[in-house]
Structure 1
Amino acid sequence: MKEFLLGIDLGGSVTKVCLFDRKGHECGSASAAADNLVPAPDRVERDTEALWQTVCSLIRRAIDAAGVPAADIAAIGLTGYGNGICLVDESGTAVGPAIVSSDDRGTDIVAEMRASGQEKKIYELTHQRLWSAQTGTLLVWLARFEPGRLKQTRWFLGIKDYIRMKLGGKAFCEITEASSTGLMDLQTRAFDPQIFSLLGIEEYFRLAPPVLDCCEAGGAVIAEAAALTGLAEGTPIGGAIFDVDSSMLASGILDGETLCMIAGTWSINEYLAEKPPHGYGESTNSLSLAFLKDRYLIEESTPTSASNLDWFLAKLLKQDGRDERDDALYAQVAGALENTSPEDTNVVFVPYLYASATHPDAKGCFLNLSGYTSKEHMLRAVCEGVVFSSVF
């Protein structure tokens, strides 16, 4: 029996690959910070080909760290951040950079759809309020401002679905993430041309990919991917799963009695429910189809979490020109928290670098800086802002 399982996580802040045995013990792993591009104040993008090369390298490193033959890997599972958008042409080549879920270019479109009443009509099918980096919102933005990219495009995909396509050669999306895109009727569990029409992008319904169940087979490793990753050709690939679902499942949550909290790129609080929330206007939570077929996943989330800490480390803590290891940087974080107390300073950090948890135009900032303020005080404020954003 093949004894090992390979997991790939395409996070908004870090890309990770881990090898596990069948008892769940980690046998080898490798990770790399996500190389996000910020070409404008409201943009967060990623070079998809560079990401694929990173994943190939991480797979090789994880297998080497485990010291096991690739032929002993029974299957591959993938997860990743939801929404944003990745466009590919008929050959599977990326059409421009991927847009990451912490992007904020769609804010004006959301406000427009809300004011016109279109959002309320869409809600009747999706049970979701629109937001700026939701796949449906981004398709509207691309149709208005970069229609040439959509003309070249065959499929829109999530980031994990792009990597699964590179591994297995076929384009799919999967149900847990697809149901969060604002483009799927949650009753029929299918992309709905009526929703595309309500968004004013009916001509782009043709870009919707086939939908897999998260537990369905998602293909097998093709020869080209095997050569790049060191995996055995023909290794089965799972259907993949939205990261908010995988976190809940990995936490052992199978009912609606327990809250799951995630501090990653996004600050996320979520639980399982048997029914969608009440009507439009009565809930601002996000909703998607859960990994359990008879449950919904109710989620409150904003990109106000660890991505803000990563920004501080990269821009203000990491020394220019020095290739400091992540563990050294996080040791500085731990030291700052140990060496200061809440009473030492009244510096406040608002963690709205990528989007707001309140007013859509609110931005990140430090408050109460003075000549007494140290870098440690600022670092404590960033960590406090990240934590408090989870309970706000």
Structure 2
Amino acid sequence: MDKYFMGIDNGGTITKAAIYTSAGKEIGLATRKTKMIMPQPYHTEKNMEELWKANISVIKEAIRISKIKVEQIAGVSITGHGNGIYLSNKYGEPVYNGIVSTDNRAKHYIENWYSDARFEKEILPKTMQSIWAGQPVALLAWLKDNHPKVIEETDYIFMVKDYIRFKLTGKAYLELTDISGTNLLNVRDRCYDKELLAFFGLEDILPKLPPLKESTDLCGYITKEAANVTGLKEGTPVAGGLFDIAASAIASGLITDKELCIVAGTWSINEFITKTPIIDRELFMTSIYCLPEYWLVTEASPTSASNLEWFIDNFMVQEKLNAKENGVPIYDICNEMVKNTTPEESDLLFFPFLFGSNTVPNANSCFIGMNSWHKKEHLVRAVYEGIVFGHIYHIERLLQYRDKLEKTRIAGGVTKSNVWLQMFADCLQIPLEIVEVNEHGTLGTVMCAAVMTGNYHSIKEAADKMIKIESTIYPTKENSRIYKVKYMNYKKTLKRMEEVWKVGVY
């Protein structure tokens, strides 16, 4: 029988399952939106039972759509949003809502840790990354102070993909690429470190951290219980999987240090790989990559397409209804609205800080420059542009550590929008290569299953065989000049707003 592989992706807002051939061709895809719970300002959570049901639903649907026998699925692998935290007892029952990486409740812990002289001298060389509010260290510290019983009842501390893998296999593990982005791990030595955890006041959580596994390691088999509810075959092997930023990077063909990858999803992810780890307190993160000899260098913040989702949900209710009635995606309507405007006709700025920012202290989201002449399409364009400018802001920081770019690759929901892709190319003023893939996260993580089962010898070989460049988008000269001016205006205004955000506007 032909071999197929299933990839599962639990993002900040969408859960997906896709089935691929060994050549990387997608034959079945199912998606389901999961509700973001915001019980208080700066809190972003998921109901973990609902999340598990969403995974069951998309697995069953992907199998149905693919029209293959479940016996042909040779392996399963999972990815998901990094950071946040998912706490479980030993039976797989949640002890608290899952917390998503956009959560900002623990931001007050960060300043204290940074002001400690030990951070730069002792901690940063081990973790190779900044500290921010949506990371497990901050969230666990907050829970320890505010809900100590939750910590007591916790048997396992998981990332989202590791929790779903536990539900499928009954085996508790944390996978290296994912946990290396959390400050819970000594990244330099690839191990847990009691002294590191003690810096954050978390040394007592060490027994709750499951054993570590590599991306392509066998991490258990589909249990009878999981098989009964998902339709997967009992005994199907499950791989370690990947941090979503690594999954999107490898699915974009990031296998040398010559390219840069942009992921425009819930988060603004901008990354390249290197054989020499970069350690700098101003850098967002250096983490473990799925290619043995490489590190993944990342600049990121929760400032990407999640801002568009918020705008659509709050200000395009009628458009959403119209789209549903006409059987078209709401994003097609957004794209059309942007196409009906030009970059030079409005100076309206949008700062994409709805979920905070780890580069601009105390930042909030806002429109600046609005007047009575502006229409809704100008606001949508400003959101598109603001998100792109947020990516460029990160890329400029990355360019301190590497040679100038000649081209880049892009992943995430933005790849379904030609008008947005052109905007990225025009603003970056370099060509964008688009990979022939619908879902980067599921394809990237599927490579782990293909290696685990012996279909390929390495992730690099899997990437070589499963990835193809679909097209290249080149910047337009005139728009590039206009966007260069607009981006400079964005940066100047951002600098002025820092003082406003610092003192507060209320």
Distance 1:178 1:357, change over 3 A: closer
Structure 2 residue aligned with 1:12: 12
Give, as a single letter, the amino acid of the residue that structure 1 aligns with 2:53. Q
Structure 2 residue aligned with 1:28: 28
Shift of 1:2: 4.4
Structure 2 residue aligned with 1:115: 115
- Find the aligned partners of 1:15 and 1:324 in 2 and give their Cα distance: 21
- Find the aligned partners of 2:275 and 2:23 in 1 and give their Cα distance: 31
Structure 1 residue aligned with 2:263: 262
Shift of 1:34: 3.1
Structure 2 residue aligned with 1:299: 298
Measured on the aligned residues, the alpha-carbon RMSD in Å equals 1.7
Shift of 1:343: 2.4
Per-residue CA deviation, residues 218-264 of structure 1 (Å, 9 max, x unaligned), is 11111111111111111111111111111111112212121111111
Question: SS at the partner of 1:167?
Answer: helix
- Find the aligned partners of 1:313 and 1:85 in 2 and give their Cα distance: 27
Contact 1:107 1:360 in 2 (8 A): no
Question: Does 1:289 find its partner at 2:288?
Answer: yes
Structure 2 residue aligned with 1:148: 149
Distance 1:187 1:321, change over 3 A: closer
Question: Does 1:95 find its partner at 2:106?
Answer: no
Per-residue CA deviation, residues 342-363 of structure 1 (Å, 9 max, x unaligned), is 2232221110000215322110
Structure 1 residue aligned with 2:392: 391
Structure 2 residue aligned with 1:41: 41
Contact 2:34 2:50 in 1 (8 A): no
TM-score by length of 1: 0.95
Structure 1 residue aligned with 2:71: 71
| Runs of 5+ consecutive residues of structure 1 not aligned to the other structure | none
Give, as a single letter, the amino acid of the residue that structure 1 aligns with 2:255. L
Task: Pick the structure with more helix per residue.
Answer: 2
- Find the aligned partners of 2:138 and 2:293 in 1 and give their Cα distance: 27
Question: Does 1:164 find its partner at 2:141?
Answer: no
Contact 2:302 2:355 in 1 (8 A): yes
- Find the aligned partners of 1:213 and 1:154 in 2 and give their Cα distance: 22
TM-score by length of 2: 0.74
Question: SS at the partner of 1:9?
Answer: strand
Question: SS at the partner of 2:172?
Answer: coil
Contact 2:346 2:378 in 1 (8 A): yes
Per-residue CA deviation, residues 311-355 of structure 1 (Å, 9 max, x unaligned), is 111111123994954943112111101111122322211100002
Shift of 1:267: 0.8
Structure 2 residue aligned with 1:334: 335
Structure 2 residue aligned with 1:380: 381
Structure 1 residue aligned with 2:186: 185
Question: Does 1:317 find its partner at 2:316?
Answer: yes
Shift of 1:284: 2.0
Give, as a single letter, the amino acid of the residue that structure 1 aligns with 2:315. L
Contact 2:132 2:358 in 1 (8 A): no
Shift of 1:387: 1.0
Identical counterparts, % of pairs: 35
- Find the aligned partners of 1:285 and 1:114 in 2 and give their Cα distance: 14
Structure 2 residue aligned with 1:220: 221
Runs of 4+ in 1 over 6 A off after TM superposition: none
- Find the aligned partners of 2:128 and 2:57 in 1 and give their Cα distance: 40
Contact 1:318 1:324 in 2 (8 A): no
- Pairs aligned (count): 390
- Find the aligned partners of 1:285 and 1:119 in 2 and give their Cα distance: 15
